[in-house]
A and B are shown apart, each in its own frame.
Chain A
Amino acid sequence: MAVVNGARVAAEIEIAALGKVFGQGEAAFHALKNINLKIATGEFFTLLGPSGCGKTTLLRVIAGFEQPSTGALAINGRQVAGQGPNKRPVNTVFQSYALFPHMTVAQNIGFGLKMLGKPRSEIDATVAEMLRLVRMEALAERRPSEISGGQQQRVALARALAPRPRVLLLDEPLSALDLKLRKEMQGELKRLQTETGITFVFVTHDQEEALTMSDRIAVMSAGRILQLGSPDEIYNAPVDRFVADFIGETNFLTLPVAGVSGDQAHLDLPGGTSAPARLPAGLAAAPGSSVTAVIRPEQAEIAPAEGADLTAEVESATFFGTDTHLHLRLSDGQPFILRRQNRPGQPPIAPGTRLGLVLAPGALQVLRD
């Protein structure tokens, strides 16, 4: 069983204490370190991290292109460590698509079923269904070199979905597409996942892509999973400095602890007030010590300086269309970025202006470091 966003559901993939080492002795490189992960059936699960964080290696281990050095890997309740990729009920959409250049679109899509020894009639029916699913019926007899990048992407998806795998692995499948097409394919992927009900494991370095598409996200760095949670948790309650910094823009404040009650700490703010902040599980913050807390730029509002949580001076302002980023210096010298929604007729704020800020309730999150 896997616990997904509070609910208990059947686990499609179970990874326990999994490690992957390349090379030996002095030159050994630990690509994956003690990965523990349960991915639920029908989940859209994302591995997010910068290049070299181990996310693609983890995907390759699940696919069977790499074997784990240590630990266990089960798919649909069966141990698969040691099995080759052709023995696993898992299909991959490759970053380069890897369409077979000497075969037509239809032959590409039918390849998996052909290798499984399915009868001709079943292959034809499934290929037709897949072509319809990815809206490529008109191009069935084309070669991959004769269709566009976005169309190749759809064929790669259809080819991987045709054998109806338990799990679909997607290795940065949208990275080669331009922005407009990428947005379109994000919606398309979500639709395909909902329609087929297949578990998707999606690898990306694009945090926005991860936030918009996923049921859950695992943020990875240096071969470890730093945080695992829903997009909302990852964005609003990062427990790790790397996670907070990697996802979106955020403010890091060093603040003294006034008191602790349960999983909440009360932090003294420079303005003289105090505010509650969530503590990461297992972190004991002693009153009187200092902790690092994060708050997103949109979770503070301008208020009269009298009675405000923070007071600050505006150093510069950057216009972003829908909003303006105000770069502030707090009264205790720490920098702070404030995102202010742009509205018609709203007077601009000039550098040098002194402001008061109030923080949205529950906006502060203490980091583990």
Chain B
Amino acid sequence: MSERGAFSVTRIPGFGLIAITTFVLLYLPIVILVIFSFNEGLSQSVWEGFSLRWYEAAFANRQVRDVSIRSLWLAGVAAGLATVLATLAVLGTTRVGRFRGQTMIYALINQPLMVPEIVTGIALLIFVASIKVQTGYTGMGYLVAAHTAFCIPFAYLPIRARLETLDPALEMAAADLYASPVQAFRHITLPLMVPGILAGFMLGFVISLDTVVITEFVKSAGQDTLPTYMLGQLRRTITPEMNAIATLFLLLSLVIVTAFFLITRTRGR
């Protein structure tokens, strides 16, 4: 009798090799970057002994500290605003009946996922430049607005996923038990959406922290974020100090992404 199992990708010849190659390509460059952040010497290719001197240098670097704080501040504000807007958008698009153009609205909300970032960047550059000329305002408002808009779909998707798993009978039960629509939202819907909202905020935060292109085109003088600062430094000489900063940045992202996973995993509770 011939074996009649379901199709399994693991039986394709070379599956193991392809999988290992993929993981090596994904992680080896990062591993090397991290290793050389601990290098005693200046070299990016010759190991000269373990040292934390580049971390000390990074922490002592006033500029690094300034751009890091700006990055965290911007990510916090933008992700916070984006989460509020995304939550409202989710409530407006899923807790109402099907309506004409619903799919279109989904697509429009998710614009940053579809439009190439460089296109958005150039468009923002031109748009912001004309406003700057008109108003003379050159503050952080442009970056906040641009990052907020860019973060909305990343906040929107996990919040919507969470709301869609909520049994509509819960809201009906609340109404049945004499809750007004506002009370039902405040006591039932909103608390149950919190894991999705937190996940949305964290995803938005990481996205804002990571983005280079949008910031590069929108920022005014002295508004470098950590990624644009690093990019700027790389145009000069590369010292292992950059490795150290990159490693710390990586660590921060990992912490947030891990928190995101933990929050979304316990969503059923």
Interface residues of A (CB under 8 A from B): 63-65, 84-86, 90-92, 94, 96, 98-102, 111-112, 115-116, 143, 145, 159-160, 163
Q: Does the CB pair B169–A163 fall under 8 Å?
A: no
B contact residues around A64 at 8 Å (CB): 175-176
Q: Does the CB pair B174–A84 fall under 8 Å?
A: no
Q: Does the CB pair A100–B173 fall under 8 Å?
A: yes
Q: Does the CB pair A92–B173 fall under 8 Å?
A: yes
Q: Does the CB pair B177–A65 fall under 8 Å?
A: no
6 pairs of A and B residues whose beta carbons are closest in the complex: A112-B177, A98-B169, A98-B173, A115-B178, A85-B175, A115-B179
B contact residues around A101 at 8 Å (CB): 170, 192, 268-269
Q: Does the CB pair B167–A85 fall under 8 Å?
A: no
A112 in contact with B178 given A96-B169, A98-B170, A100-B173 (CB within 8 Å) = yes
Q: Does the CB pair B180–A102 fall under 8 Å?
A: no
B169-205 residues with Cβ-Cβ distance < 8 A to A are: 169-170, 172-180, 183, 187-188, 191-192
Alpha-carbon gap, A133 to B167, bound state (A): 27
Q: Does the CB pair B169–A115 fall under 8 Å?
A: no
Contact-residue bracket for chain B = 10 to 19
Q: Does the CB pair A63–B176 fall under 8 Å?
A: yes
Q: In the assembled complex, how far is the CB of residue A282 from the closest CB belonging to chain B, in whole angstroms? A: 39
Q: Does the CB pair B177–A111 fall under 8 Å?
A: yes
Q: Does the CB pair A85–B176 fall under 8 Å?
A: yes
Q: What is the count of residue pairs linking A and B with beta-carbon distances less than 8 angstroms?
A: 67
B contact residues around A65 at 8 Å (CB): 172, 175-176
B contact residues around A96 at 8 Å (CB): 167, 169
Q: Does the CB pair B268–A94 fall under 8 Å?
A: no
Q: Name 30 A/B residue pairs within 8 A (Cβ), A-sorted.
A: A64-B175, A64-B176, A85-B175, A86-B176, A86-B180, A92-B172, A94-B172, A94-B173, A96-B167, A96-B169, A99-B173, A100-B174, A100-B188, A101-B268, A102-B191, A102-B192, A111-B174, A111-B177, A111-B179, A112-B177, A112-B178, A115-B174, A115-B177, A115-B178, A115-B179, A115-B183, A116-B178, A160-B176, A163-B177, A163-B178
- Choose from A85, A111, A159, A160 the contact partner of B172 (Cβ within 8 Å): A85
B contact residues around A163 at 8 Å (CB): 177-178
A contact residues around B183 at 8 Å (CB): 115
